[in-house]
């Protein structure tokens, strides 16, 4: 019976120690830099030390007296009281600087008292009874120990109750949890370590004192971790691993034969190593995922800011373009009047300068119009007045209008209508489609030094295709891939510096708004290009 009781005591003590270590490890590993976590793990270490010597103080161990272990029970109890107070003082902060009087007065004084408990000043001797229970003989400084321990516990309780009164929200909920743990722990200690031994002479439960601290550890660890962003996958892995450790440890402690103990011990060591590696692996995976989530969130925020900046940019461009349009119109109008002689005869040299001003103002007006159209598209304000019209008529008319410009460069501009009757009818905004036709033909004229340009309209199945084939500078596949993007001009900037790089982007947007598409084909540099617009026929 005595052997069974001893086995029960050692198993329960070992179990409480392992559970305390598990709780401490989980809390500390998730918040290594937190001052609360550090004091919590210090408190657990002192509790483990106290649990061990408390258990040994009731055992008959050769070469050691009961007095030796009783003194160490008081030693660790003093440290427990100090760490309990410090934990209550810093909880639940991650960063907190202890006042100077803590470091200079309180902590050194308590440590001094702790070491005094190991001397004859606190316990002179211990009287051993036949039952195996020792009764210590009090020393002169025992009241100092009692006052120190009780004061620290009192001020620790006072600290946590004041925080509970002052705090709100999540902090208050954390303090509620830790308060429950404190009350349950002290209630168990008072009942089983004070009331039963003093009033009923029942000391059977004193060896289980290490279990009485567990409610406090459970509630405190839960309070520390509850509102922190740690992953359930890591916690689950840790709990399963630690449970397996406890199970094998108990098997080792309860093993009857030496061979079983050796096998279980070896297994225990292997499981510990594998478990640590597994926990590290899972934690690394979770940390990487959490970092990715943070980066995704930051990227999303940055994207929203960019959208806001893009909107501001579009609004600015729209405002600036509107403000530029009026003076440019006036410049263009008065220059035209001067050229036409409305203000009298002008010599040829001055007229040449005025023609260059007129052309520049025209180019600038086109850039302003492009900017305004891009802004409208980006803001969703581009309006389309849809109606049926013959695409071949628009292409033929635009070819005729631009033929003079082509002839002035020594280029031949041809138009080929492959539509029979009104078979190239499309439904769309005639003026917007005219812009696409103008842009394609005008670009071919600008970027072709010699040769000819062929404009064609034809119908294939249910599609109407408008194309412009030139003998100009051509392009590489890399240029083709970016040509219809905003501000993309390829190598054309070398031949024409006045372009905005928005014309082809607008043609793409207009065609797609009509349910069509645009594209370009070229066999390479100096081999010409062929631009296409495809629309649905009606």
DSSP 3-state of 476:
coil
Long-range contacts of residues 44-48, Cβ cutoff 8 Å, at least 24 apart: 44/20, 44/217, 46/76, 46/79, 46/80, 46/83, 47/20, 47/76, 47/80, 47/210, 47/213, 47/217, 48/17, 48/20, 48/21, 48/210
Cα–Cα dist 158/152, whole Å: 10
Q: How many other β-carbons are positioned within 10 Å of the β-carbon of residue 78?
A: 25
DSSP 3-state of 384:
coil
Pairing verdict, β 412-417 and 123-128: unpaired
Q: Which residue has the higher pLDDT, 217 or 72?
A: 72
Q: What's residue 227's pLDDT?
A: 52
Query: Cβ contacts of residue 62 below 8 Å, gap of 6+?
Result: none
Residue-wise pLDDT tens digits, 37-62: 888 889 888 888 888 888 787 776 65
Q: What's residue 57's pLDDT?
A: 77
Query: What element of type H or E holds 518?
Result: strand 517-521
Q: Which of 258-262, 449-453, 491-495 has the lowest mean pLDDT?
A: 491-495
Q: Is the pLDDT of residue 3 over 50?
A: no
Q: What's residue 411's pLDDT?
A: 93
Cα–Cα dist 6/58, whole Å: 10
Cα–Cα dist 254/7, whole Å: 8
Q: What's residue 1's pLDDT?
A: 43
Q: What's residue 229's pLDDT?
A: 41
Q: Please, is 50 exposed, middle or buried when counting C-beta atoms within 10 Å of its C-beta (0-12, 13-18, 19+)?
A: buried
Q: Which residue has the higher pLDDT, 293 or 46?
A: 46
DSSP 3-state of 90:
helix
Residue 387 phi, psi dihedral angles, 5° rounding:
-165, 150
| Average pLDDT for 404-426 | 87
What do you get for the CA distance between the two ends of the chain, in Å? Answer: 102
Q: Is the pLDDT of residue 276 over 50?
A: yes
- What are the DSSP calls for 117-180, one per residue? TTSTTTEEEEEEPTTS-EEEEE-TTHHHHHHHHHHHHHHHHHHHHHHHHH--HHHHHHHHHHHH
- Closest by CA to 446, choosing from 391, 505, 483, 489, is 489
Rg (CA), the chain: 45
Q: How many other β-carbons are positioned within 10 Å of the β-carbon of residue 248?
A: 18
Query: Cβ contacts of residue 99 below 8 Å, gap of 6+?
Result: none
- Dihedral, 65, 67, 72, 77 alpha carbons, nearest 10: 140
- Closest by CA to 50, choosing from 77, 27, 31, 23, is 77
Q: Is the pLDDT of residue 468 over 90?
A: yes
Q: Which residues of 253-269 are buried (b: 16+ CB within 10 A; e: fewer)?
A: eeeeeeeeeeebeeebe
Q: Is the pLDDT of residue 70 over 70?
A: yes
Residue-wise pLDDT tens digits, 212-258: 878 887 787 777 666 554 455 666 676 677 778 777 877 787 777 88
Residue-wise pLDDT tens digits, 420-429: 766 899 999 9
Query: What element of type H or E holds 460?
Result: strand 452-460
Percent of the chain beyond pLDDT 70? 84
- What are the DSSP calls for 180-223, one per residue? HHHHHHHHHHHIIIIIHHHHS---TTGGGHHHHTHHHHHHHHHH
| Average pLDDT across the chain, whole number | 81
Q: Which residue has the higher pLDDT, 286 or 443?
A: 443
DSSP 3-state of 5:
helix
Contact in structure between 470 and 447 (CB atoms under 8 Å): yes
Q: Is the pLDDT of residue 477 over 90?
A: no
Residue 468 phi, psi dihedral angles, 5° rounding:
-130, 115
Q: What's residue 152's pLDDT?
A: 92
Residue-wise pLDDT tens digits, 302-359: 888 888 777 766 666 666 666 666 777 788 788 888 888 888 888 888 888 888 888 7
Cα–Cα dist 288/296, whole Å: 12
Q: Is the pLDDT of residue 166 over 70?
A: yes
Q: What's residue 133's pLDDT?
A: 53
Percent of the chain beyond pLDDT 90? 21
Q: What's residue 233's pLDDT?
A: 63
Cα–Cα dist 18/11, whole Å: 10
Q: How many other β-carbons are positioned within 10 Å of the β-carbon of residue 90?
A: 20
DSSP 3-state of 92:
coil
| Average pLDDT for 364-384 | 74
Cα–Cα dist 297/281, whole Å: 24
Q: Which residue has the higher pLDDT, 364 or 491?
A: 364
Cα–Cα dist 413/400, whole Å: 9
DSSP class of 466 = E
DSSP class of 525 = T
Q: What's residue 230's pLDDT?
A: 46
- What are the DSSP calls for 255-278, one per residue? --SHHHHHHHHHHHHHHHHHHHHH
Where does the pLDDT of residue 508 fall: very low under 50, low under 70, confident under 90, or very high at 90 and above?
Answer: very high
Q: What's residue 109's pLDDT?
A: 94
């Amino acid at each position: 019976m005595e052997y069974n009781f001893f086995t029960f005591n050692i198993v329960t003590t070992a179990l409480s120690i392992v559970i305390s270590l598990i709780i401490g490890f989980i809390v500390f590993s998730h918040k290594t830099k937190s001052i609360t976590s550090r004091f919590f793990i210090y408190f657990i270490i002192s509790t483990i030390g106290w649990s061990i010597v408390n258990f040994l103080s009731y055992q008959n161990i050769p070469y050691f007296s009961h007095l030796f272990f009783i003194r160490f029970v008081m030693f660790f109890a003093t440290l427990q009281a100090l760490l309990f107070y410090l934990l209550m003082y810093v909880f639940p902060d991650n960063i907190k600087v202890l006042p100077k009087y803590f470091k200079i007065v309180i902590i050194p004084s308590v440590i001094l008292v702790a070491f005094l408990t190991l001397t004859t000043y606190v316990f002179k001797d211990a009287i051993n009874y036949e039952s195996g229970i020792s009764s210590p003989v009090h020393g002169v400084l025992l009241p100092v120990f009692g006052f120190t321990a009780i004061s620290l516990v009192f001020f620790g309780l006072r600290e946590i109750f004041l925080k509970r009164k002052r705090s709100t929200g999540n902090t208050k909920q954390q303090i509620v949890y830790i308060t429950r743990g404190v009350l349950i722990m002290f209630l168990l200690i008072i009942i089983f370590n004070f009331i039963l031994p003093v009033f009923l002479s029942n000391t059977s439960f004193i060896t289980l004192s290490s279990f009485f601290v567990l409610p406090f550890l459970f509630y405190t660890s839960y309070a520390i971790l509850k509102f922190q962003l740690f992953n359930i996958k890591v916690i689950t892995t840790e709990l399963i691993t630690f449970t397996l450790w406890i199970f094998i440890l108990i098997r080792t402690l309860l093993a009857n034969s030496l061979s079983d103990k050796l096998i279980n011990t070896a297994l225990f060591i292997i499981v510990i190593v594998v478990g640590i590696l597994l926990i590290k692996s899972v934690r690394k995976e979770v940390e990487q995922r959490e970092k990715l989530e943070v980066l995704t969130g930051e990227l999303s925020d940055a994207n929203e800011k960019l959208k806001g900046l893009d909107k501001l940019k579009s609004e600015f461009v729209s405002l600036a373009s509107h403000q530029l349009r009026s003076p440019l119109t006036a410049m263009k109008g008065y220059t035209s009047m001067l050229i036409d002689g409305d203000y009298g005869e002008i010599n040829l040299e001055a007229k040449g300068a005025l023609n260059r001003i007129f052309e520049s103002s025209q180019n600038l007006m086109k850039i302003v119009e492009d900017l305004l159209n891009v802004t409208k598209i980006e803001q969703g304000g581009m309006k389309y007045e849809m109606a049926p019209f013959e695409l071949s008529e628009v292409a033929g008319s635009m070819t005729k209008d631009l033929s003079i410009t082509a002839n002035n460069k020594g280029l031949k501009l041809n138009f080929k209508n492959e539509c029979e009757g009104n078979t190239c009818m499309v439904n769309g905004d005639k003026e917007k489609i005219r812009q696409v036709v103008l842009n394609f033909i005008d670009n071919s004229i600008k970027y072709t030094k010699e040769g000819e340009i062929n404009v064609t309209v034809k119908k294939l199945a249910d599609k109407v295709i408008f194309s412009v084939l030139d003998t100009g500078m051509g392009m590489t596949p890399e240029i083709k891939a970016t040509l219809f993007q905003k501000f993309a001009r390829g190598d054309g900037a070398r031949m024409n510096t006045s372009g905005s790089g928005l014309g082809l982007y607008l043609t793409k947007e207009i065609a797609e708004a009509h349910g069509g598409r645009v594209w370009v084909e070229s066999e390479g540099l100096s081999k010409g290009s062929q631009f296409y617009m495809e629309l649905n026929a009606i």
